Amino acid sequence: MIRNIISTVICAAVIFLASCGGSKDPVAYNNAIISVINGSERQVTLMNEAMNAADYAKAEEVRLGWEKSVNEDINKVEDLGDFNGDAAFQQAVLNGLKGYKKIVTEDYVKLIDIRKNGTAADAEKEAQLLDNINAAFEDMAKGVNAASDKFEQDYKK
């Protein structure tokens, strides 16, 4: 009788521990990460629309919202944690989001200012900023895509 009680308690403890910190589902983890990334992509679209319309007040509004959003997105990805001890995908996404943050807090501030107040002499600075922004977006996308592809290969069901 006591042996049955001990066995039952041990089984219950094992089940409880497994359910608390058990392994994560790769599809759910990937979907959670991708949904965060998609939020930043929406911000890029909004910024492009404002800049193309030469609505720099709107561009600044978008930039401020994006800055807040990217900080929240960084926290979301940090809160997701690694995937069963593998942090490569999470770190690639965090690096990408931190790259977005740099663009939003530095490069777009300068670009909006140049477009709003700049002179013809600022055209070279504007071109350089655009090149930097586009190169950074490309590098971040490559890093996240490579990590996503590796994650998918490593955790295919």
User: What confidence tens digit (pLDDT) does each residue in 37-82 have?
Assistant: 888 888 889 999 999 999 999 999 999 999 999 999 999 999 999 9
Q: State residue 119's pLDDT score.
A: 80
Please report whether residue 2 resides in a domain: no
Instruction: State the chain's mean pLDDT as an integer.
Output: 85
User: Which candidate, 79, 98, 95, places its Cα nearest to that of 29?
Assistant: 79
Q: What is the pTM of this model?
A: 0.79
Number of domains the chain is built from: 1
Question: In this structure, is residue 14 part of a structural domain?
Answer: no
Give the per-residue pLDDT at 52. 95
User: Amino acid identity of 116?
Assistant: K
* pLDDT, greater one: 9 or 35: 35
Q: Which of 18-22, 54-58, 97-101, 129-133 has the lowest average pLDDT?
A: 18-22
Structural domain contains residue 4: no
Query: Which tokens in the block code for residue 15?
Result: 């089940």
Our measurement of the distance from residue 96's CA atom to the centroid of its chain's CA atoms, rounded to an integer in Å, reads 6
pLDDT of residue 57: 96
Domain span including residue 48? 24-154
Domain assignment present for 89: yes
What are the Cα distances from residue 136, in Å, to 6, 34, 46, 129? 59, 19, 18, 10
Q: Which of 11, 91, 115 has its CA nearest to residue 107?
A: 115
The reply to whether 18 falls in a domain is no
Q: Is residue 11 assigned to a domain? A: no
